[in-house]
C-alpha cells in the first residue's frame, strides 16, 4: 500500500471468534483515532474493522465533496462484510460516527447486536466554540459559500491530554488549506469544511427522526467537559432512543476525542464490558 494512501490507517483485526465490531471514525477524522480502542477490543476477543471514510485522509478539495450518503453506503458495505463472516456484530462510532452507527441500527436492526455511541454529536454547542457559530448555519445554506469556507481546527483540538494536544497543535498550526500534508492520514483534516458541517446537519436531522424506532442495546459515552459538543447531546440520545437496554457513562477527565484522551482506558473497558454483557 502507498505510504500516502487514504487507506493507510484503516485496519481489520481478526480474531477466531464469531463476534465482530465495526468502528466508524468522525467526519474529517481518520481511523487512527479509533486505533487504540480497536486494539483493546481485539485483545478482548473480538474482530474489529475500521476503514477510512470516503474522501477522507485526502485533499481538502476532495473532503468538501463528501456526502453523508456516501459515508452511509461505505459503512453499510463494511457491515455486510462483517455479517457475512460473523454471527454477532456490534457497531460503534465517534462524534458523527456515533450518529452513523445509530442510523445503521435503524436500517438493519436484526444485523446489529448493540450500538456504541462515543461523544454523539447532534449539535455543536461545546464551550470552546466561537460565539459566531450561529452564522455558519446561514452560510451552509448557500452552496457557493459552503463550498468555499473552511474552519481551521483550533485549541484544544478535542484533547485534554496536554502532551498529545501539543503534537496536534504543531501540525495544525502550520497546515495549509491549499497543500495536502500526509500527516493528515494520522491527525485528520486540519480544516473543517462548511460543506462537511452541512452534511453532518443533514444526517443529524434524519437520525433525530429515527431514534424512537431504534431498539438495539446502546452504550453512550460522553465527556462532561466536551469542548465541541455538550453533554446535552448524549442526554438527547439517551432520552429519545427507543432502546430499553441503554446507559450513559459520563467521563470526568476528557474532552471530545474520548478514544485517545486521558480516559481512553476507561472508555475501552466500559465498551468491553458492554460487549461481553450484551453477548452473554
Q: Is the pLDDT of residue 127 over 60?
A: yes
Q: Is the pLDDT of residue 163 over 60?
A: yes
| Residue 136: band (very low, low, confident or very high) from pLDDT cuts 50, 70, 90 | low
What is the C-alpha separation between 225 and 35, in angstroms, rounded? 23
Identify the architecture of domain 11-279 in CATH.
Answer: 3-Layer(aba) Sandwich (3.40)
Helix (H) or strand (E) holding 200: helix 194-210
What is the C-alpha separation between 112 and 203, in angstroms, rounded? 20
Q: Which three cell numbers stand for residue 141?
A: 445554506
| Residue 27: band (very low, low, confident or very high) from pLDDT cuts 50, 70, 90 | very high
Mean residue pLDDT across the chain: 90
Q: Is the pLDDT of residue 144 over 70?
A: no
Predicted confidence at residue 194, as pLDDT, reads 85
Predicted confidence at residue 5, as pLDDT, reads 79
Residue that the C-alpha cell 460516527 belongs to? 97
The residue among 146 and 110 whose pLDDT is bigger is 110
Give the phi and the psi of residue 15 in degrees, each rounded to 5. Answer: -135, 155
Q: Is the pLDDT of residue 81 over 90?
A: yes
Mean pLDDT value of segment 122-133? 77
| Residue 186: band (very low, low, confident or very high) from pLDDT cuts 50, 70, 90 | confident
What is the tens place of the pLDDT at every residue in 164-180?
999 888 887 777 776 77
What is the C-alpha separation between 88 and 79, in angstroms, rounded? 11
Mean pLDDT value of segment 57-83? 94
What is the tens place of the pLDDT at every residue in 242-266?
999 999 999 999 999 999 999 999 9
Q: What is the DSSP letter of 112?
A: -
Q: Where are the domains of the chain?
A: 11-279
Nearest in space to 213 (alpha carbons), one of 106, 92, 104, 90? 106
Amino acid at each position: 500500500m502507498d505510504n500516502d494512501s487514504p487507506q493507510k490507517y484503516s485496519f481489520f483485526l481478526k480474531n477466531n471468534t464469531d463476534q465482530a465490531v465495526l468502528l466508524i471514525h468522525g467526519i474529517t477524522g481518520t481511523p487512527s483515532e479509533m486505533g487504540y480502542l480497536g486494539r483493546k477490543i481485539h485483545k478482548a476477543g473480538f474482530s474489529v474493522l475500521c476503514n477510512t471514510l470516503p474522501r477522507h485522509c485526502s485533499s481538502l478539495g476532495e473532503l468538501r465533496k463528501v456526502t453523508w450518503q456516501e459515508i452511509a453506503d461505505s459503512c453499510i458495505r463494511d457491515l455486510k462484510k462483517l455479517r457475512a463472516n460473523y454471527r454477532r456484530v456490534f457497531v460503534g462510532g465517534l462524534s458523527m460516527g456515533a450518529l452513523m452507527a445509530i442510523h445503521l441500527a435503524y436500517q438493519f436492526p436484526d444485523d446489529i447486536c448493540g450500538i456504541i455511541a462515543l461523544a454523539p454529536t447532534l449539535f455543536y454547542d461545546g464551550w470552546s466554540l466561537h460565539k459566531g457559530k450561529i452564522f455558519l448555519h446561514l452560510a451552509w445554506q448557500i452552496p457557493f459559500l459552503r463550498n468555499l469556507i473552511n474552519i481551521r481546527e483550533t485549541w484544544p483540538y478535542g484533547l485534554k491530554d496536554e502532551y498529545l494536544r501539543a503534537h496536534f497543535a504543531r501540525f495544525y498550526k502550520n497546515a495549509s488549506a491549499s497543500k495536502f500534508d500526509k500527516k493528515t492520514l494520522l491527525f485528520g483534516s486540519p480544516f473543517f469544511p462548511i460543506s462537511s458541517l452541512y452534511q453532518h446537519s443533514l444526517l443529524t436531522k434524519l437520525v433525530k427522526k429515527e431514534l424512537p424506532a431504534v431498539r438495539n442495546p446502546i452504550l453512550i459515552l460522553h465527556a462532561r467537559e466536551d469542548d465541541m459538543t455538550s453533554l446535552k447531546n448524549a442526554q438527547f440520545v439517551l432520552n429519545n432512543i427507543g432502546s430499553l437496554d441503554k446507559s450513559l457513562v459520563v467521563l470526568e477527565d476528557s474532552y471530545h476525542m474520548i478514544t485517545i484522551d486521558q480516559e481512553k482506558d476507561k472508555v475501552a473497558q466500559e465498551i468491553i464490558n458492554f460487549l461481553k454483557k450484551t453477548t452473554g
